[in-house]
Structure 1
Amino acid sequence: TACFLALPAYLLSRLGLPAYVDYSLASRFLGFDVRQRSWSSAILSACDLKAEQFSPAVPSGTVAGRLPPSIASGLGLPNGTLVAVGGHDQPCAALGCGVMAPGRISASLGTYECLVAASQVPAINDHALSANLNSYYHVVPDRFVTLAYFPSGIMVEWLLHLLYPDSKTPVSELCAALEANAPEGPTGLCVTPHLLGTCNPDFDPHATGVVQGIRPTTSRNDLYKGILEGIACEFSAMVELLQRVVGPFDDVYVAGGGGRSRLGLKLRASLSSCRLHLMQSPEAVCLGTAILAGMAAGSYRSFDQAVKQVVAVGETIEPTPGIAASYNRQLQQYRLLYSSLAPVRQALAAFH
């Protein structure tokens, strides 16, 4: 193999530009020294590889060059269009939420749900290692990110496909209708959203989605809210996990499609005891990437200036102590359910 390229580096090469990779994506290769910001000869040599087989690593927002005339014409873009190096999606989302300073936390609510903590040094300690947390270079200079994540929105998508397989109604309208008819208070269901296995802390591919507590009276509205409750329970667990590594925090800056559910946000805020600041722009990844492009183009003097100009909170959801109290039993049940199913997962693993 002549060279190993991340997808963005490959795209740059196809655009006739140097195949750069930014520090955040280079970190994902597991052969990059995040402190020295260079490929690790110790790690690569252990795999009989050389740094020359990988892209030159550069800061996010570096100018890669300008499009050659032939390529610009084929893409319908102006000749000489500036091309900048971007970054990994979750650090870009954190930037799009204004999460740069140590102690700030963002959450992307999508198919997966990812909490991102910014820091001045990588979070490499016993708590982080035991929880299998990702800690690597941010798209912001001299900053690092630590991630905790889990499958989330895919559970809602599964239910909608099950209930409305041929529906042409927008997903947002289907969810709004189910939410409007959801029962008050806890459903009594215990739902684990592990359709794709678990992520932090144990990354168990044999874990499955579970709905416990179904009775003859259980309705589609109960199931929908039960899924939101399960996601909120998992969110609370991820908050606790991240707090053990990066320290306490009370505020989370939120973006993504999951932010459309006010019920889901209220449950997350209350069960985690965190204020959720819903960003004006739900597309935080795109906004963060646009900021990197603006830095490359000289549109901003600094990341601080860029964030002040384009990043804004639209709404803040406060935790409700009464809701948290009403879910104490369900939170305990949620944690007990997952651990109690360990023998079942082990039995399933034996057949695969």
Structure 2
Amino acid sequence: MRIAGLDIGTTGCKCTVFDENGCELGRAYRDYSIRRGTGAHEIDATVLIDAVYAVIGEMAHKFENISGIGVTSFGETFVMTDENGNVLAPAMLYTDPRGAEECAALSEKLGKNHIARVTGITPHEMYGLPKMMWQKRHNPEIFAKARHIMQMEDFVVYLLTGNAVIDYSLATRSMGFDIDKLAWSSEIFDAAEIDVGLMSRPVPTGSDAGVITKSVADKTGLPSDCHVIAISQDQVAAAIGSGAFSPDVAVDGAGTVQCLTPIFDQKPDVEKMMPGKYVIVPYVIPGTYVTYAFSYTGGALISWVTKVLAKQEALLAKESKLSVNEYLEKQYIQKRELDGVDTEGPSGMLVLPHFAGAATPYMDTESKGVIIGLTTDTSVAEIYRGCMEGVTYEMYLNYRNVTEAGANIKKLHATGGGAHSTTWMQMKADVLNIPIIALNSVDAGTIGSAMMTGIALGLFKSLDDAAAHMIETRKTYEPRQNYHEKYMEVYERYEKVYSAVRPVM
């Protein structure tokens, strides 16, 4: 038996195949473009589904007997289709500014607190429902043709199987899902004047959506009895693929976006979650929940430094047969040694990492990045290190907030590209003052998807059994109290930066 995980991202999708022992056999990837204008951020869902068919087809032709494929995707963005699944309009991305007026109107009608208590979400235009309202208001003729409104997971599941189902975690991202009843809120959809019958049927994370259609089998080469599993939103899949199954373990998603995902063994107090705009999302284990405490620029900020500021260093790194990241870390240590200061601990820079706006706890898309502490002697390597610290301080700010809201985090499981940076992992352990276990795979989302697929097909008995087969740890980073204290001295200044500079942005 072979199983596959399909991970649909905002700029590309990948399909990874595993054998019955959970060992990776191969993967395929296709990218696609998004359109970002002043007033619209969109993705062409027809191009996305073509990429999905391409990666599935590539893997199906390389590996026979794929028994099941699990589907996970990014959230909020929705597709309107006719009864045959034909896309009616470009899909509005979660970053699209449209929907703000509609969100405000819905909040005025029902009350922000009431919406949050029902859905676990503080109203914001990033979510699906306000954008559905915008489409109905501005494109009524197109909207009238819609027979399905689907996010990317259920859109792909529907085209693969003919069954429109969406898991609970992704349904939450609509701002219209009742997290207590685990059903669409007719009250909220009625207030939004959106027909709830257009939405897919909500199902538990990891539900079998059925077998593929004959046309999909012919198009991709998958076996006609291949099952499709509705997994979850990508962050939930990453939490599963990181082995986070109890409240003492949270996930450090050290990817393009920096995301901390804690687990709660009971529904958190909405009133404590709302000030930081922290969502409440049903998790794979019934009765448990997760939230997302995140920064838009995690690895993205590090990439900005290496691509924009470190062009000369990149050439020198190539000559030294090092990655540009390794070269900058080496340069940082050498400069600190020449200056006669500690090569570890705070750099002296203060970086507010809002280079793509601020996520939790501010949700301020107009906030900007700030670098404090520049002199004519400042090197690119020091800016690189300062940016790494800034992302980590923002993570610590979120960590403190979710802890005050009831999270009980004792250690982190780290995944993503940043988990392979020894410097960054040790820094995070020191700042948060808890152990961090770096996982071997950078792609926890695909692993989580495959784990749930294996469970649905009876290959694995439980989450723990699946984790034992598929999750490998690489290194544990223990916090160092002396460096924690040094970082906290800087953090006291860091937490004042946003409120100090925001009025002049």
Question: TM-score, with normalisation over the residues of structure 1?
Answer: 0.92
Q: 2 CA distance for matches of 1:122 and 1:181?
A: 47
Alignment partner of 2:405: what SS? helix
Partner SS, residue 299 of structure 1? coil
- Verify the 8 A CA contact 2:294 2:359 in the aligned structure 1: yes
Task: Please tell me whether the aligned partners of residues 176 and 189 of structure 2 are also in contact (alpha carbons under 8 angstroms).
Answer: yes
Q: 1:301 aligns with which of 461, 465, 469?
A: 461
Which has the higher mean CA deviation after the structures are superposed, 162-171 or 272-281?
Answer: 162-171
> Percent identity at matched positions?
26
For the pair 1:180 / 2:325, whether they are aligned, the reply is no
Counterpart code for 2:303: E
Moved more, 124-133 or 215-224: 124-133
Q: 1:172 to 1:132 in 2, by over 3 A?
A: farther
- Equivalence for 2:308: 162
* Separation (CA, whole Å) in 2 of partners of 1:44 and 1:291: 34
When residues 244 and 283 of structure 1 are mapped into structure 2, their CA distance, relative to the original with a 3 A threshold, is same
Deviations 1:87-139 (A, max 9, x none): 10111111111112233211101111111111233323322111110111113
Instruction: Provide the secondary structure at the position in 2 that maps to 1:72.
Output: helix
Which residue matches 1:153? 299
* Residue 12 of structure 1 pairs with residue 149 of structure 2: no
Residue 270 (structure 2) aligns with: 125
Structure 2 residue matching 1:15: 3-state secondary structure: helix
Question: Which residue number corresponds to residue 238 of structure 2?
Answer: 93
The offset of 1:309, in angstroms, is 2.8
Matched residues in 2 for 1:189 and 1:119: separation?
35
- Alignment partner of 1:74 is 2:224: no
For the residue of structure 2 that corresponds to 1:134, the secondary structure is coil
Return the alpha-carbon distance in structure 1 between the equivalents of residues 246 and 410 of structure 2: 15
8 Å Cα contact 2:161/2:210 also seen in 1? no
Specify the alignment match of 1:223 in structure 2: 383
Q: Which amino acid aligns with 1:174?
A: V
2:161/2:211 contact within 8 Å kept: no
Instruction: Check conservation: 1:100, 1:143, Cα contact below 8 A.
Output: no
Question: Aligned match of 2:416 in 256, 267, 272?
Answer: 256
Aligned partner (choices 347, 354, 367) of residue 207 of structure 1: 367
Residue 177 of structure 1 aligns with an amino acid whose one-letter code is Y
Match of 1:102 among 235, 240, 247: 247
Counterparts of 2:408 and 2:160 in 1: how far apart (Å)? 45
- Match of 2:409, SS state, is coil
SS of the residue corresponding to residue 360 of structure 2 reads coil
Structure 2: distance between partners of 1:197 and 1:112: 12
Report SS of the residue matched to 1:46. Answer: helix
Alpha carbon RMSD of aligned pairs, Å? 2.0
Unmatched tracts of structure 2, length 5 or more: 1-145, 337-342
Instruction: Tell me, yes or no, if the aligned pair for 1:190 and 1:230 is still in contact at 8 Å.
Output: yes
Tell me, what secondary structure is at the counterpart of 1:4?
strand
Aligned to 1:62: 207
1:261-280 correspondence runs (5 A)? 261-280=421-440
Look up the SS of the partner of 2:292 in the other structure: strand
Matching residue of 1:348: none
CA contact (8 A) 1:140 1:303 kept: no
Greater mean deviation of Cα atoms: 28-37 or 116-125: 116-125
Question: What secondary structure sits across from 1:107 in the alignment?
Answer: strand
Q: How many Å separate the matches in 1 of 2:159 and 2:349?
A: 51
1:235 aligns with 2:426: no
What are the ranges of 5 or more consecutive residues in structure 1 without an aligned counterpart?
346-352
Match of 1:40 among 175, 185, 202: 185
Q: Is contact 2:352–2:390 with CA below 8 Å preserved after alignment?
A: yes
The worse-fitting range, judged by mean Cα deviation, of 1-10 and 80-89 is 1-10
Letter in 2 for 1:292: M
Q: Does the C-alpha gap of structure 1 residues 33 and 85 become closer, same or farther in structure 2, counting only changes over 3 Å?
A: same
Contact 2:263/2:407 (CA < 8 Å) preserved in 1? no
CA distance in 2 between counterparts of 1:172 and 1:286 reads: 29
What is the CA deviation profile of residues 213-247 of structure 1, one whole-angstrom value per residue up to 9, with x for unaligned ones? Answer: 11111111111111111122112111111111124
Deviation track 1:60-100 (CA, whole Å, cap 9, x = no partner) reads: 21111112333212112223222111110111111111112
8 Å contact from structure 2 (residues 254, 415) kept in 1: yes
| Aligned mate of 2:357, from 197, 203, 218 | 197
Residue 23 of structure 1 and its aligned partner are, at CA, apart by 0.7
What are the Cα deviations for residues 246-292 of structure 1, in whole angstroms up to 9, with x where unaligned?
Answer: 24423111111111211111111111111111112221111111111
Pick closer, same or farther for the CA change 1:31–1:69 going to 2, 3 Å: same
Counterpart residue number, 1:314: 474
Tell me the secondary structure at the aligned position of residue 232 of structure 2: coil
| Alpha-carbon distance between aligned partners in 2 of 1:277 and 1:35, rounded to the nearest angstrom | 33
Change (3 A) 1:311 1:212: same
Query: 1:350 maps to which residue?
Result: none
Provide the rounded CA distance (Å) in 2 between the counterparts of 1:245 and 1:97: 23
SS of the residue aligned with 1:175? helix
> Are 1:291 and 2:451 an aligned pair?
yes
CA separation of 1:148/1:21 partners in 2, compared to 1, >3 Å: closer, same or farther? same
